[in-house]
Chains A and B, each alone.
Chain A
Amino acid sequence: DAGVTQSPTHLIKTRGQHVTLRCSPISGHKSVSWYQQVLGQGPQFIFQYYEKEERGRGNFPDRFSARQFPNYSSELNVNALLLGDSALYLCASSLEGGRGLGLGTQYFGPGTRLTVL
């Protein structure tokens, strides 16, 4: 069975540009979460979506936005890129995620390595 897939694998952008990262969850999973992992740090939570609704948002500026599609895939958008946005962006999917149902086991994709020059 296919795991969580993310595209692209690597991406190089310049300051001020916009980027869109994509994620396809494991088949049957309705919850998708996004995390940012800066070199030498653990992943930091950005967003969680369940059944196309945003369930949670981390401490990230409004330049970061996301959405989930009817097929449960998701996009993470980052506007006005800064050098500090350079990181590995991880997508995780899970079966659970509905209100009051807890987080469930998170399965992570391989990530998208974003470099901002």
Chain B
Amino acid sequence: TQLLEQSPQFLSIQEGENLTVYCNSSSVFSSLQWYRQEPGEGPVLLVTVVTGGEVKKLKRLTFQFGDARKDSSLHITAAQPGDTGLYLCAGALLSYALNFGKGTSLLVTP
């Protein structure tokens, strides 16, 4: 059973389009993290959201944490080919382990 469900699983868009990736759970997390992973590389942390309702912006990326701290979203404005990669959400229910979603594989074509 996956604690964190991500949707969509795959996304193929053209440069300049906007997109939103969702991360949902039935569990309450003290924080959620978003990572981006490129082929052959380890995940790289993009952001950590901690407070329910929190919105964080990282250039063209906007991250939101749900009020109940069970879900999160990642919105990308005007996607670029360099945004291509696997986007993973993760949270810690235990003090020693991260639970990851299956990820959303994004392809942005010129």
Contact = CB atoms under 8 A, between A and B. Distances in A.
Nearest to B90: A42
B41 A40 contact: no
In the complex, which range does the number of interface residues on chain A fall in?
20 to 34
Given A48-B96, A100-B95, A103-B96, A42 B42 contact: no
Contacts of A110: 40-42
Nearest to A9: B40
Nearest to A105: B45
Contacts of B42: 4, 90, 92, 108-111
Nearest to B91: A103
Interface of A: 4, 33, 35, 40-45, 48, 55-56, 58, 90, 92, 97, 99-103, 105-111, 113
Interface of B: 4, 35, 40-45, 48, 88, 90, 92, 94-103
